């Protein structure tokens, strides 16, 4: 499994990394598109369906979310285990999204997103068994999934806080947005599981698994560096 990178079907691993993490700069950011920002700022009152759509759209285009989910389910085979981890992630994500926006909890968006990038690095290293080799113990993966879920939700909350959202209907709109996020998560997770199901049936899966997680870790570091660069640039302006 720990073979050199350029062997077998290395291009499959590279394609996965490029698909998830090497898109355009706007996709690397954990944010909302310019058009959606304008829409959020213009509408008022309760708008459940539009906010549900925006939440789903954010999740299925949120590369940082998908990278982390991909890492979480990488070695999960039973549906009850997948359901448990995804539920923990959803609880964490939903809590900080709702509380962060509703109570206007301040935080630096770049630093939160850097932590989100590190969550991808953490999970890739976990999949490679790095912590057992380096430190002789296995961190609690359930707790880690929940904690990183909190940061993923807070990351989006920091973006929404920057908009001039109408306070009228704020709570139901936020709940609708979060419902959309969870629906989008189910759609994205379904696609990932279908892909993993076919991939795991190939004889090369375990040979490629280690290399894929090396690439996953690399993209996580790129996401983290991207956000730290944004933080330092904004601090000097």
Q: Tell me what pLDDT residue 34 has.
A: 66
pTM of the full structure: 0.86
The CA-based dihedral angle spanning residues 155, 160, 163, 169, taken in that order and rounded to the nearest 10 degrees: -160
Q: Report the mean per-residue pLDDT for the chain.
A: 86
Say how many CA atoms lie within 13 Å of 200 toward its Cβ: 11
Chain segment 50-71, per-residue pLDDT in tens: 999 999 998 888 889 999 999 9
Whose CA is closest to 101, among 170, 28, 34? Answer: 170
In a domain, 166, yes or no: yes
In a domain, 4, yes or no: no
pLDDT over 70, % of the chain: 85
Euclidean distance between CA atoms 144 and 138, whole angstroms: 11
In a domain, 22, yes or no: yes
Q: Which residues contact 54 (CB under 8 A, 6 or more apart)?
A: 32, 36, 39, 40, 177, 180
Euclidean distance between CA atoms 157 and 154, whole angstroms: 5
Boundaries of domain holding 96 = 10-236
Q: Is the pLDDT of residue 22 over 50?
A: no
Chain segment 148-176, per-residue pLDDT in tens: 999 999 998 998 887 777 788 899 999 99
Domain total of the chain = 1
């Amino acid at each position: 499994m720990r073979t050199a990178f350029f062997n077998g079907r290395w291009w499959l691993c590279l394609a996965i990394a490029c698909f998830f993490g090497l898109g355009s700069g706007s996709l690397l950011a954990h944010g909302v598109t310019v058009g959606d920002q304008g829409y959020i700022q213009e509408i008022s009152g309760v708008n459940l369906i539009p906010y549900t759509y925006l939440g789903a759209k954010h999740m299925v285009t949120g590369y940082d979310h998908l990278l982390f989910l991909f890492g979480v389910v990488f070695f999960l085979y039973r549906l009850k285990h997948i359901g448990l981890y995804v539920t923990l992630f959803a609880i964490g994500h939903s809590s900080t999204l709702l509380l962060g926006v509703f109570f206007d909890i301040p935080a630096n968006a770049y630093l939160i997103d850097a932590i989100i990038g590190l969550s991808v690095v953490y999970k890739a290293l976990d999949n490679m068994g790095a912590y057992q080799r380096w430190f002789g113990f296995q961190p609690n993966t359930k707790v880690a999934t929940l904690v990183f879920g909190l940061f993923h939700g807070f990351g989006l909350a920091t973006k929404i806080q920057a908009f001039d959202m109408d306070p009228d209907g704020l709570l139901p709109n936020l709940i609708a947005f979060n419902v959309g996020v969870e629906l989008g998560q189910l759609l994205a997770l379904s696609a990932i599981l279908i892909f993993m199901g076919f991939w795991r049936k190939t004889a090369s899966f375990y040979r490629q698994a280690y290399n894929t997680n090396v690439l996953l870790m690399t993209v996580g570091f790129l996401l983290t560096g991207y956000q730290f660069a944004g933080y330092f640039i904004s601090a000097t302006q």
